[in-house]
Amino acid sequence: MRRILSLLCGALILGPAIARAQFAGAPSMKVAIVKNAYSGNRGEPELSKGPDALETGGIAGMASKAGFELAASRAVQLTPEEDRAYGAWNRMGLANGHLGRAVAAVLRNGEFPIGLLANCNSLLGMLAGLQHSGPDTQPLRVGLVWIDAHADFNTPETTLSGMLGGMPVAVATGLCLTRFRLQSGLDPALPFAYVTMLGIRDADPLERELIDRHRIELVPAEALRPPFSGIHAQMKRLSGWTDLIYVHIDMDVLDPAEVSGHPLTVRGGPSSQELASGLEVMFQYRKAAALGVASYPFQSDPGGKSLKAACNLVEGCLRGVKASR
């Protein structure tokens, strides 16, 4: 009896996710790049060149280097009618709807999605894709590992900047902007228990109060060092609660020396190699079903240092996925 219980617990923690199960026994694992260039932040260009720059600059090559087959990439594009719709937030929601459908299709094909994202507003679309990637209409339970120097847990009532990019985790958990969340395809909202934040070093005062009030799990950047006990604890926790786990990275989480062109850097971040080692651990958990990399500072990347950092992150992720087969 004890042996049976042990096997059941192991299946719960490390057992195959619905999306990853299709890889078992496949001659080669496929990686699919999904790009969303839409920004959604007022005062910024609506379309970012960052996702294309990441793909052509080396991310696509990571798949074959890690022993994966690269599926055709997918890029989000609004219809002509949607493109004429009023409001940057409105168009961002429409773009997220397309992103979610693309991610769901990739997962149903048995491919591993890597989201190359203009910024963190694409979180809603990535989560929606995982949530609605199952074999029927029943939404899957999706966990979130949020890796960012900032919590992005503000609401319109708590924000100091008014920037949509400071709110996506709050939106995803149902605290605000319900119309934007539903337009993005994320329904229901994530329970607070399904969220883990890693590397957060900068939160507004009222934002910090929301984090504490809703008991969001926080993991310091120091957890990205062996023996990775904090990462293991959170991945086991999320694996027990959810069907799939999405890992989202804002590149401003890194040491500012590697993302000097990013406008929102915060001291005290990990190196890309340290974070890559942590990602390798995370993606050895088979419920970790997708990676997103956001906010590549393509406008200012001296010597391609930030591009190399992004490649390191993807490489670490794929090492973990490969080890989990």
Confidence of residue 323 (pLDDT cuts 50, 70, 90): very high
pLDDT in tens, 41-82: 987 889 999 999 999 999 988 888 888 999 999 999 999 999
Q: Whole-structure pTM over 0.85, yes or no? A: yes
pLDDT in tens, 89-144: 999 999 999 999 999 999 999 999 999 999 999 999 999 999 999 988 899 999 99
CB 32, CB 283: distance < 8 Å: no
Helix/strand/coil percent split, the chain, to 5: 45, 15, 40
Query: Residue 1 has what pLDDT?
Result: 36
Confidence of residue 257 (pLDDT cuts 50, 70, 90): very high
Mean pLDDT of the chain: 91
Residue 192 has pLDDT above 90, yes or no: yes
Residue 7 has pLDDT above 50, yes or no: no
Residue 23 has pLDDT above 60, yes or no: no
Measured in Å, how far apart are the chain's first and last C-alpha atoms?
Answer: 28
Query: Residue 63 has what pLDDT?
Result: 82
Query: Residue 22 has what pLDDT?
Result: 43
Residue 288 has pLDDT above 90, yes or no: yes
CB 34, CB 116: distance < 8 Å: yes
pLDDT in tens, 149-159: 999 999 999 99
Q: Quick one: which of 18, 34, 112 has its CA closest to 69?
A: 112
Backbone phi and psi for residue 260, each to the nearest 5 degrees, phi listed first:
-60, -25
pLDDT in tens, 206-251: 999 999 999 999 999 999 999 999 999 999 999 999 999 999 999 9
Residue 17 has pLDDT above 80, yes or no: no
Mean pLDDT, range 259-271, rounded to an integer: 94
Query: Residue 3 has what pLDDT?
Result: 33
CB 117, CB 147: distance < 8 Å: no
Class of domain 28-323: alpha beta
Query: Residue 26 has what pLDDT?
Result: 46
